[in-house]
Amino acid sequence: MTEIRNGRWTASLDEPYVVFLIGMRFNKLWKPHRWLPPFLAMPRMLAELSKHPELGYLGGNVWVGRTILTVQYWKSFEALEGYAKSRDAAHLPAWAAFNRAVGANGDVGVFHETYRVGPGAYENIYVNMPAILFGNVGETFQATGGKVSARGRMRTAAE
């Protein structure tokens, strides 16, 4: 289990970054032959990304239920797009296999959202939590003084 950080913590980065939400939904649970390949592809991609920090993946977290959500942080959109289109990486073959096997038949749903974030355009707080989400990626420090409130963290980050 990850160590709990007691108290109020916040995280920041001095550089722009990208938040990438990606996931899938089991639309037809009785068709594991359709959803199991994309389900198994994501852990392979995350392992590949973790072994190769030069690709620009900063970190993230995964939640599993009927809808699976992976929250990822990247150094830039260009790094994310470069990985997605690389013929030498795990994503492109997995995406092609998904399109061949599932396509638009409705058995499995997939989605993603991409956000560019600049310094000062965000705030966060982690109270009595282990390192999670952006707290795993940015520089973390105790939220004291001007960083106690959301407004203060946003204002301080913008400065």
Tens of pLDDT, residue by residue over 60-105, are: 999 999 999 999 999 999 999 999 999 999 999 999 988 888 888 9
* Annotated domain spans of the chain: 5-13+119-158, 17-117
From CA 122, how far away is CA 112, in angstroms rounded? 20
Say which CATH architecture domain 17-117 belongs to.
2-Layer Sandwich (3.30)
Considering only CA atoms, which of 94, 96, 51, 58 is closest in space to residue 74?
A: 58
Q: Pull the structure tokens for residue 103.
A: 């396509």
The C-alpha atoms of residue 145 and residue 43 are separated, in whole angstroms, by: 40
Q: Specify the pTM.
A: 0.91
Does residue 113 register a pLDDT over 80?
A: yes
pLDDT in tens, 46-61: 999 999 999 999 999 9
Question: What pLDDT is stored for residue 6 in this prediction?
Answer: 94
Q: What is the mean pLDDT of the chain?
A: 92
Distance CA 77, CA 74 (A): 7
Give the residue from 62, 53, 81, 64 showing the smallest Cα distance to 21: 62
